A and B are shown apart, each in its own frame.
With several copies, the nearest count.
Chain A
Amino acid sequence: MDFDFTPEEEAFRDEVRRFVAENHPGTETPDPGAMKKWCEKLVERRWIGFSWPTEVGGGGGTVLQQFILKEEMSAARAPSLGFDFMGLTWVGPALIRWGTDQQKRRFLPDLLNARSLWCTGYSEPDHGSDLGSLQCRAVREGDEYVVNGQKIWTTLAHRAKWIFMLVRCDTDSSPSKVRGITCLLIPMDSPGIEVQPIVSLTGVHSFNQVFFKDVKVPVGNRLGEEGQGWRVVMGALAHERSGISEATEKVRHLEDLIELARGSRKNGRPALEDASVRRKLASFQARISAMRLNGVRHLTRQLRGEAPSTETSINKLLRGSIEIEMSELALGLQGSEGQCEGDWQARSLNFHGTVIGGGSPNIQRNIIAERILGLPKD
């Protein structure tokens, strides 16, 4: 058991801090020009794709360096590490592991140089939480696949250049299997693709429905073999879900919340003198620490080459309740102001997206109860 960092790791932390001090554009969400500059600086350091091997042009950072990088960036409220979140999280790692040399040459440089924008086609209507039963079909015709079907909750599909797409290739009639699932890389300007926006409860357009009608995809755009799609996706997933960045994000929200409390009054007295407010804040702090430490356990497994365990489901559950309670406290502190538009108000609505995304709390509870505790399936 050791929660210290090596002197080398601490030195790297200092390097990140210096970098941030010099290059932070002053806001987490800079305008496109400033964001471009920020990304160029990151590209120089190879901090985009930092944990990817140097052979493919990545930064060759260790798991812990990656952890330090993310934690410091988040703590400093720096803009994100590039803007192609889906590409860097899902597509890059999958390409490195499963891609042909040609695919790597074609896609990785854009990813590493912050010139890409990917979306991912997983969820489908009626199968939101049940990936194994997806229906979108690809039929091989000569050197092409012909894709028909529909995806939903596709983040940024209206802006992405490519989609990292799961389809079903098998002709087997029983659909509830992961065996036939295949991964295709499809340009979003392919004929036959239609994108329809889904507007969120705060009026923001980030999700989409994507319709595929006889979309032709060259066989060379298949990532991995036919039927391997599930493994292609899951391998990438495992390595990007320590939950530490979520914990760091919550640390910042807690700081904001404490500031809000500092400026609020409750029952005619400063809100921070109210025992229930203080204890709620402290309870968030303890739970966020638990999230962070659960993430560190996940890292340790990675370092030891062990399979990831349930830390992800655990942290998603912790996070869900923290999000709800923090929002309720924030709006409670705001009182009438909470009825108006504002950051906390938007957050109190928006978290529903993050809580549900990647499996609702009930799905996480089923995973834990069935896979870990061995309870019978429902």
Chain B
Amino acid sequence: MNFGFSEEQELLRQQVRKLLDEQCPMNEVRRLIETPEGYSRELWKQLAELGFLGLLIPEEYGGAGLGWVDQVVMFEETGRTLFPSPLISTLLAASVIGDIGSEEQRRRWLPVIADGSRIGSLALLDQADVWSTEGVRLTARRRGDTFVLDGEKPFVVDANRADLLVVAFRTGGDDADLALAVVDGDVPGLEVTPVPTLDRTKCLGTVRFDDVQVAAQDVLGAPATAGPAISRVLDRGAAAVCAEMIGAAEAALASTVSYAKDRIQFGSPIGRFQGVKHPLAEMYTDIESFKSLVYYAAWALDRAPARVPLAVSEAKAFGSLAFSRIGIDGVQLHGAVGYTEEYDIQLYLKRSKWARPMFGDEDHHHDRIASLGGY
């Protein structure tokens, strides 16, 4: 029993923080999200060179072979600075390949993800907001050895910048007929329509499949393994979003605390008044508790798979509510300037509105907690 990070993990945190503070401070974030790509390819390369893109990828495939607890440390930092990048998407795509891909498939894709030359994403659900295998409706036709896809996956994160998409589809009526395949971002018939987002540090797109052919060798895993793999990656996705939420929530709190100390009204810093102080204390309480839940979920992802679904749902349910409140209260406690484009707090508010539905909102995860608990 040990609730704490190792020295290596603390070092990792410092490295990531230093890199982001130096290379991607908030003015750079604001600049990047105005560019067509929305992120910095150079910084992406740099992350790859420092080994940060392959933390979870085993060493034999060019990664660092670390675990989710380490990955969470990194995401806390990318969340803190609202670092715009296809990091989570790429990591989740790699995790599916690592999870059920064949040796050959892993060798083919994991090293090029770890070295930063391929960006990945997930295109799982065509039934929006049904965060389970039930959300996969797209049914492939068979044409010889290949599958042919016709349909649409809405709300695909980073769709416009992904070199490869892990696509879920059905080959029959059962859940055993679920399939996952790696589809090239520029395969003929695949069209991505970007969708403007509220949180512009994140990208969304609709992926349209028009007679897209999927070769047998691009289909991941043995028969009947895709369903469970989808469930697992949805949990991993929720955990990743949670980890970024921690960092973002802490930054929102820090920014509001600092404003409360500096802003003088009626002759005192407003942070002296309990009407300001107490909501800040509640934010802190929520964040610390949320951290406990997320760290536990990350440990479960590494070491106790059976505990993952409940741990993840408790974390995401708690965090979705808490971070939403933090975003709103943070803006409100900034008073009128919270409403301006100039102050950063609004960017965290927008992030909270991004994070809440991502991989299921509080209602979804509360419902799941209840089902898992048999009530």
Contacts and interface: CB of A to CB of B under 8 A. Distances in A.
Interface stretch (B19-27, B172-180, B217-225, B269-277): B269-277
Contacts of B370: 278-279, 281-282
A356 interface: yes
A369 B296 CA distance: 26
Contacts of A203: 341
B280 A375 contact: yes
A368 B253 CA distance: 13
A336 B129 contact: yes
A356 B330 CA distance: 13
B204 A314 contact: no
B266 A130 contact: yes
Contacts of A334: 357
Contact of A129 (B9, B268, B335, B369): B335
B339 to A, nearest CB: 5
A199 B129 CA distance: 33
A290 B310 CA distance: 13
Contact of A348 (B260, B280, B293, B353): B353
Contact of A153 (B268, B336, B349, B362): B336
Contact of A375 (B272, B285, B313): B272
B239 to A, nearest CB: 13
B366 interface: yes
Contact of B261 (A286, A293, A376): A376
Contacts of B354: 339
A299 interface: yes
Contacts of A364: 281
Given A262-B375, A278-B367, A365-B274, A375 B357 contact: no
B97 interface: no
A289 interface: yes
Contact of B3 (A268, A276, A300, A355): A300
Nearest to B155: A336
B272 A377 contact: yes
A342 to B, nearest CB: 8
Interface residues on A, range: 35 or more
Interface in A314-362: 314, 317-318, 324, 328, 331-332, 334-341, 345, 348-349, 352-353, 355-357, 360-362
Contacts of A64: 1
Contacts of A300: 1-4
A307 interface: no
A157 to B, nearest CB: 15
B373 A128 contact: no
A245 interface: no
A77 to B, nearest CB: 19
B152 to A, nearest CB: 13
B61 interface: no
Given A339-B204, A366-B281, A372-B284, A352 B296 contact: no
A341 B194 CA distance: 12
B292 interface: yes
Contacts of A296: 1, 3, 292
Interface in B159-197: 195-197
Interface of B: 1-6, 9, 69, 128-130, 134, 154-155, 195-199, 202, 204, 253, 257, 260-261, 264-266, 268-269, 271-278, 280-282, 284-285, 288-290, 292-293, 295-296, 298-300, 303-304, 313-315, 317-318, 321, 324, 328, 331-332, 335-336, 338-342, 346, 349-350, 353-354, 356-358, 361-370, 373, 375
30 contacts: A1-B6, A2-B299, A4-B303, A127-B265, A153-B336, A201-B349, A266-B363, A278-B366, A279-B362, A279-B366, A281-B370, A283-B366, A285-B369, A285-B373, A287-B289, A293-B289, A296-B1, A300-B3, A339-B353, A341-B196, A349-B350, A356-B336, A356-B339, A362-B273, A362-B274, A365-B275, A369-B284, A373-B284, A374-B261, A375-B261
